[in-house]
Structure 1
Amino acid sequence: MTTPTTAPAQAPHTNAHIDPAAKVADAGFVPVQTRSERPSSYEPADFGAPTGREVNWKHTPLARLAGLLSDEAGDGFAVTVDLDGAAAHLVPEEDAHGEFFRPEDLPSALAWKHAQRLHLRIEADDEVAEPIVLRFDGSGADKRGFGQILIEAKPNSRATVVLDHRGSAQYAQNVEIIVRDGAALSVISLQRWADDAVHAAAHQARVDANATLKHYVVSFGGGVVRVNPNVELAGAGAEGYLYGLSYADAGQHLESQVYLHHKGPHTVGDVLYKGALQGESAHSVWIGDVLIGPDAIGTDSYEANRNLVLTEGARADSIPNLEIETGDILGAGHASATGRFDDEQLFYLQARGITEEEARRLVVLGFLSDIVQRLGIPSLEEELLAAVEAELAAVSA
């Protein structure tokens, strides 16, 4: 399953260059700052080598991503995919080209060009009770691979899909998600890589009329993990719930650039990402962009990012943005907060005989479990809470 497919016929190639700051003076234009105007292309050559001054790269450690910025096919696919019982939902490779996905940066364009492709389809009116799990197991930090995944929920279907990434690799991945009329789909992307792994992923989703998408990004492992969800609420009554959880250790860089586009009328959007950081040079980046388009009347939308810094030397960058192009909405807002332990919470718990160490543990678990408990998979929730416990034990040891 390594033969690349062509781009969708309805999405012609563009020669737009992606905001290279090094050429601004010569070109005589202002770099793209508005998320909705970001150029896209299927051709890697249309994206200049990022310099770190571009708006979508300035918070990313490019030197550590170098292996995913070179237009080479790689030395063998680095990730083995275990379908874990999902084979019945796979469709022939030639149908995996997708409908609307357009790469917006160089790693995504390279993944489009070189990717191994999978198409997971939930048939109309099907209700899949158990989660469909795709397991990605990296074979080594010196291995580089590309992935292209299409997840399609046909009308009125119901399913949960889990993308579970482990092991070690340099892996660029595109995930296209289509939620057709009346369908309800949950997609959970788990990053539990080894410490030397590098993962750059672009998720693009379209949610049609009266359909619902719940999208989760959970990042615990990996040296550099950059998962950027882009969700369009295209149909009337579409709903999108975008949740994220990260726990950054010393030397880790965990990043998500989230874009929620309210396009259809009477759409509902909720974005909530939470992160904890501990250790020297632990770094998280969250950029949240919400666009309420001119036809998105009756929209109700909110986005928020909360970060808890547990030790000195950790850093969280949090940038919320909101564009509104119609005045006829129910509500819209955004919020961002980064801080240390709440001294009042600690005092309250210690005043009741709880040790300081246990009080800190309870505060962190309470802060992060808000996202964990939304997953709706008890076994996975237990795993993630246990992982948080292990992280806390490591810092207190």
Structure 2
Amino acid sequence: MTASTTAPAEAQNTDAPASAHIDPAAQVAAAGFVPVQTRSERPHSFDPADFGAPTGREVNWKHTPVANFGGLFTDEQGDEDAVTYGLGAAEAFLEPSADEKGPYGEFFRPEDLPSALAWKHSPRGLHIQIPAEAELDEPIIVPVEGKGADKRAFGQILIEALPHSRGTIVLAHSGSAQYAQNVEIIVRDGAKLTVVSLQRWEDDAVHASAHQATVGADATLRHFVISFGGGVVRVNPSVELTGAGSEGYLYGLSYADAGQHLESQVYLHHKGPHTKGDVLYKGALQGEGAHSVWIGDVLIGADATGTDSYEANRNLVLTEGARADSIPNLEIETGDILGAGHASATGRFDDEQLFYLQARGITEEEARRLVVLGFLTDIVQRLGIPTLETELLAAIETELAEVSA
């Protein structure tokens, strides 16, 4: 990968003022204006200097342990080989990257400091392209391995599905590192793409990732964020349904243990007419200090007539000392829609379900196991990747064994 301090000409941000800041809250006292409240209003910039170092008071950082991000707020080149990419079969779909002029930055715009730093220090990373009309029967697995918690890395990945193609890309994160990552996703007209971001880091890893996607006419994106490992994991997907008839399905699954912080701030923007969106994130938490954060924002734009959209977040708290923050938001700028809604629920085991199972001779421990599996398997089964589904179900079983130990 090569490094550059400037974005390509076609990607330069011309909308944000030179003094743009991700959240003007810190300037309110001096300037006297209202800070940014909605996701659609947030400024963006390729220049890290336009973002102040987060303090934890900003609207997009107030649920995040910013003290744990340390090196990912520092404007210095990352450590060489701190993160490696085991490409394997993916090499057949790699496009030139080192001196490529496009389409990096065609859609992507950094919204926070780690993302801007990743753009600056790793503007040309992997470019995985599925050829037009191609239909891939097997997923492309891209292992991303960290080489140590004391190492700092920046990464940029571009995933592009050309017109009327079909395929699945899995970004499989493991090992340990301090890793700021940008993932730009472009789904051209008529294409059907599935992207899975799998976080199975070691307990001391810190991962801040911004996924931004644009979906063309009659195209479909299925996007999964699955987080099991890592000390602090913050994967924020932003999807714009640009073309008429485009569809976006955003799914998430997390299992937070003691001391873990797993976070996703999800943004779905219905921009074109007759678009369809579905957002469903589920999480389980166990252990002292286990913390999950889900913030869901859906914007139905003024031109997004005929839209059908729904978002939901469900959390199951398994032990004392665990906490789930869940904040759904919905903006609608047109009355000509098919439907829109949002929901959020966080709670403990359903006593009626447990009673039902125990009344049929199932032990309480086994009943709890079945309830959790039933709750989380819904997301796992939507993957459509048998080997990965088996792996995740086994991981859930391992987590449950620890709770009952």
Residue by residue over 1:285-304, the C-alpha shift from the partner in whole angstroms, topping out at 9 and shown as x without a partner, is 00000000000000000000
Distance in 2 of aligned mates of 1:357 and 1:40: 49
Distance in 2 of aligned mates of 1:143 and 1:175: 20
Quick check: 296-305 or 97-106, which moved more? 97-106
Query: What one-letter code is carried by the residue in structure 1 that aligns with 2:106?
Result: E
Distance in 1 of aligned mates of 2:77 and 2:40: 30
Q: Identity percentage over the alignment?
A: 80
1:85 alignment partner, SS class: helix
The 5 A counterparts of 1:237-248 are: 237-248=245-256
Residue by residue over 1:132-175, the C-alpha shift from the partner in whole angstroms, topping out at 9 and shown as x without a partner, is 01101110000000000000000000000000000000000000
Q: Indicate the residue corresponding to 1:220 in structure 2.
A: 228
Whether the 8 Å contact between 2:6 and 2:46 is mirrored in structure 1 is: no
Residue by residue over 1:157-205, the C-alpha shift from the partner in whole angstroms, topping out at 9 and shown as x without a partner, is 0000000000000000000000000000000000000000000000000
Distance in 2 of aligned mates of 1:112 and 1:68: 12
Q: Indicate the residue corresponding to 1:89 in structure 2.
A: 93
Query: What one-letter code is carried by the residue in structure 2 that aligns with 1:59?
Result: H
CA offset at residue 6 of structure 1?
4.3
Q: Does 1:107 align with 2:114?
A: yes
Residue by residue over 1:206-225, the C-alpha shift from the partner in whole angstroms, topping out at 9 and shown as x without a partner, is 00000000000000000000
Match of 2:43 among 39, 42, 53: 39
Distance in 2 of aligned mates of 1:393 and 1:312: 17
Whether the 8 Å contact between 1:145 and 1:170 is mirrored in structure 2 is: yes
Residue by residue over 1:7-46, the C-alpha shift from the partner in whole angstroms, topping out at 9 and shown as x without a partner, is 2423433421221422211122211001101000000000
Match of 2:382 among 368, 371, 374: 374
CA offset at residue 5 of structure 1?
7.6
Distance in 2 of aligned mates of 1:300 and 1:254: 29
2:141 alignment partner, SS class: strand
CA offset at residue 114 of structure 1?
0.6
Distance in 2 of aligned mates of 1:6 and 1:50: 22
Residue by residue over 1:281-325, the C-alpha shift from the partner in whole angstroms, topping out at 9 and shown as x without a partner, is 100000000000000000000000000000000000000000000
Query: What one-letter code is carried by the residue in structure 2 that aligns with 1:142?
Result: D
- Which runs of 5 or more residues in structure 1 are unaligned? none
Distance in 1 of aligned mates of 2:25 and 2:44: 16
2:69 alignment partner, SS class: helix
Distance in 2 of aligned mates of 1:235 and 1:19: 30
1:330 alignment partner, SS class: strand
Distance in 2 of aligned mates of 1:121 and 1:291: 29
Distance in 2 of aligned mates of 1:86 and 1:269: 29
Over 3 Å counting, the alpha-carbon distance change for 1:46 and 1:139 in structure 2 is same
Distance in 1 of aligned mates of 2:72 and 2:237: 18
Q: Indicate the residue corresponding to 1:17 in structure 2.
A: 21
Q: Indicate the residue corresponding to 2:2 in structure 1.
A: 2
Distance in 2 of aligned mates of 1:114 and 1:25: 33
Query: What one-letter code is carried by the residue in structure 2 that aligns with 1:28?
Result: G
Q: Indicate the residue corresponding to 1:70 in structure 2.
A: 74
Distance in 2 of aligned mates of 1:325 and 1:137: 42
Distance in 2 of aligned mates of 1:299 and 1:270: 11
TM-score, normalised to structure 2, is 0.96
CA offset at residue 128 of structure 1?
1.0
Match of 1:54 among 58, 61, 66: 58
Q: Indicate the residue corresponding to 1:333 in structure 2.
A: 341
Query: What one-letter code is carried by the residue in structure 2 that aligns with 1:277?
Result: L
Match of 2:372 among 347, 364, 378: 364
Residue by residue over 1:226-260, the C-alpha shift from the partner in whole angstroms, topping out at 9 and shown as x without a partner, is 00000000000000000000000000000000000
Query: What one-letter code is carried by the residue in structure 2 that aligns with 1:10?
Result: E
1:72 alignment partner, SS class: coil
Q: Indicate the residue corresponding to 1:162 in structure 2.
A: 170
Q: Indicate the residue corresponding to 1:351 in structure 2.
A: 359
Whether the 8 Å contact between 2:3 and 2:120 is mirrored in structure 1 is: no
- Which runs of 5 or more residues in structure 2 are unaligned? none
The 5 A counterparts of 1:267-306 are: 267-306=275-314
Q: Does 1:209 align with 2:213?
A: no
Distance in 2 of aligned mates of 1:8 and 1:33: 30
Q: Does 1:119 align with 2:127?
A: yes
2:383 alignment partner, SS class: coil
Match of 2:148 among 131, 137, 140: 140
Distance in 1 of aligned mates of 2:79 and 2:192: 38
Distance in 1 of aligned mates of 2:193 and 2:282: 22
Distance in 2 of aligned mates of 1:45 and 1:361: 49
Distance in 1 of aligned mates of 2:248 and 2:107: 18
2:135 alignment partner, SS class: coil
Match of 1:316 among 324, 331, 346: 324
Question: What do you get for the CA RMSD once the two structures are aligned?
Answer: 1.0
Whether the 8 Å contact between 1:68 and 1:107 is mirrored in structure 2 is: yes
1:18 alignment partner, SS class: coil
